[in-house]
Structure 1
Amino acid sequence: MKKLSLLILSSLMTSIVYANTSHLAVQLKQQYPNLNFQNLAPTETSRLYSATLGQRVVYLDEAGQHLFVGQMIRLKDQKDLTQDLINIMPSNRMDWKKLPLNDAIEIVKGNGQQQLAIFEDPNCPYCQKLEPELDKLNNVTIYVFLYPLRPQSVMPSKQVWCSESRAFAWKNLMQMKIQPKATKYCDNPIARNLALGQQLKLVGTPTLIFKDGSFKTGWMSSDEIQQHLAK
């Protein structure tokens, strides 16, 4: 009975949110017919909604009388919620099919059905923090693009690529600080990866790219990644 009550309450709250969003959309259309608000959605802040206006993310009060422009940062983890919205805008999505997956380390977990690409620098602290979260994922194929933005990261990246087991060498380096032992030179994609990152306008590491073309720069928890993969 308790579970049924919770289910009904959850359904009711979803309906109220949807009704409020729909009502605001109608208000905006009636009052400001020349402004084309898209992707209207509730935010984590009560009575505040996000939307896109052209190429900008904007925020609106529930009465549709005030518009706010700027970055919304969640203080508890300094997460840039506005940047997340920018990354999923259709005009900003990346073309997954254009990623040269042969230039990445392939790591298969479970059935490997879902796919995720990550640009990482071995000396990036947030990349190192991300690795244990990736270990918690299941049924995903992860493509790690070695992306050494720091000069001291170039040689370890090349050594990882030239190792007998790239995935094993990468995990040892990132999680246990064990330097790769490959000494022989081999053809590697490091220069191509750096050029690709510039082409994609990557601003830092780690950058996670999902198959739908959306992306996120910075640390993510395994739960956040799994939720995004499930969309």
Structure 2
Amino acid sequence: MTRLITAALLGALSLTACAQAPQAPAADEAAAKPAPAAAPAKGGTPEERARNAIAQLNPQAKVDYVGAAPLPGFREVIVGGQLLYVSDDGRYLMQGAVLDLQEQQDLMQGSTALARYRRDLLASVPASERIVFAPPNAKYTISVFTDIECGYCRKLHSEIADLNRLGIAVEYLAFPRMGLGSQDHKDMISVWCAPDRRRALTDAKAGKPVPSRDCKNPVTMEYDLGQRIGVSGTPAIYSAEGVQLGGYLPPQALRERLDELAVKAKPAAAGMK
């Protein structure tokens, strides 16, 4: 229990990933500040009140999902890949960890709606637009938003053979954390345009010069998709079910985490039959 609370309060993910470079807010977003002493959001249903509450905070925000939360009296809301709880009257908003002390779990991290949202977005990227390192008959497949300069990304990639030996296929998506138009972005385009993407990515992560190339490529699209999912640093690792596994994890720890998810998924699958 102490371990769970510590992870939730300290945000362990930030310690095992390279942070995305700060992005300048758009003018309309900067202007969209909540009015002081705002009244509870109006609306005929809890879902409408949740949407109205988000609109009060930022009229430009796009709400991707609203549904019942496991916490009574609240709605789950997904905005920009982030999960929020909004009270049914539209007055209160929570973001971060919501701990169920009886079940010893973080309700927000365990949200099936958020995992399903991420899974569907990830599924929109075909294998041909990823850089794949897979063993024969892989037991698990992970999607990893990666950057070629991030130290944790390089460490993860240096252990790719160990991950493959453990039955884990790694499918990379591009996330140039320094932002679009940066040299990082241009270098990742060069990697994705290389005749041998796997070799080019491995060389780039080893610090070797990246020969400049250009072609029709998915780098910007994958970066934008990562933003929608809520990626804020690299590596960002997701299971096939859309569960975020964290930033960097050692190979054995990653395999154990995937095994845990597989065990939890069995009762859920049996209940759907």
Q: Which of 119, 127, 141 is the equivalent residue of 2:145?
A: 119
Shift of 1:135: 2.8
- Compared with structure 1, are the counterparts of its residues 45 and 112 closer, same or farther at alpha carbon in structure 2 (3 Å cutoff)? closer
Code of the aligned partner of 1:172: D
Give CA-to-partner distance per residue, 1:119-166, whole Å, 9 cap, x none.
Answer: 011111221222223331123321101110212311210111111211
Distance in 1 of aligned mates of 2:162 and 2:193:
26
Instruction: Report the aligned-residue RMSD.
Output: 2.9
Query: Aligned pair in 2 of structure 1 residues 164, 99: CA closer, same or farther (>3 Å)?
Result: closer
| TM-score (normalised: structure 1) | 0.61
Query: Do the aligned residues in 2 keep the contact of 1:111 with 1:140 (CA within 8 Å)?
Result: no
**What's the offset of the Cα at 1:200?**
1.2
Runs of 4+ residues deviating >6 angstroms: none
| Residues 133 and 160 in structure 2, CA contact (< 8 A), matched pair in contact too | no
Matched residue type, 2:216: D
2:192 aligns with: 161
Tell me how far apart the structure 2 counterparts of residues 215 and 148 of structure 1 sit (CA, whole Å).
19
Instruction: Answer yes or no: is the 8 Å Cα contact 2:189–2:213 preserved in 1.
Output: no
Aligned CA distance change for structure 1 residues 44 and 189 (closer, same or farther; 3 Å): same
1:57 to 98, 101, 104: 98
What is aligned with 2:235?
206
Which residue of structure 2 aligns with residue 192 of structure 1? 221
1:57 & 1:179 partners in 2: Cα distance? 45
Matched, 1:140 2:162: no
Give the gaps of 5 or more residues in structure 1: 1-41, 47-51, 65-80
CA deviation profile, 1:61-81 (whole Å, cap 9, x unmatched): x7x9xxxxxxxxxxxxxxxx9
Tell me the equivalent position of 2:112.
90
SS in 2 for 1:118: strand
Equivalent residue of 2:98, what SS?
A: strand
Which of structures 1 and 2 has the larger relative contact order (alpha carbons within 8 angstroms, sep 6+)? Answer: 2
Percent sequence identity over aligned pairs: 23
CA distance in 2, matches of 1:90, 1:221: 25
What is the one-letter code of the residue matched to 2:99? V
**Take 1:119 and 1:210, find their aligned partners in 2: how far apart are those partners?**
12
User: How far 1:43 sits from its partner (Å)?
Assistant: 5.7
Q: Is the 8 A contact 2:131 2:171 kept in 1?
A: yes
Counterpart of 2:159 in 1: which secondary structure? helix
Counterpart CA distance in 2 for 1:228 and 1:98 is 24
* Structure 2 unaligned blocks of 5 or more: 6-69, 75-84, 86-96, 263-273
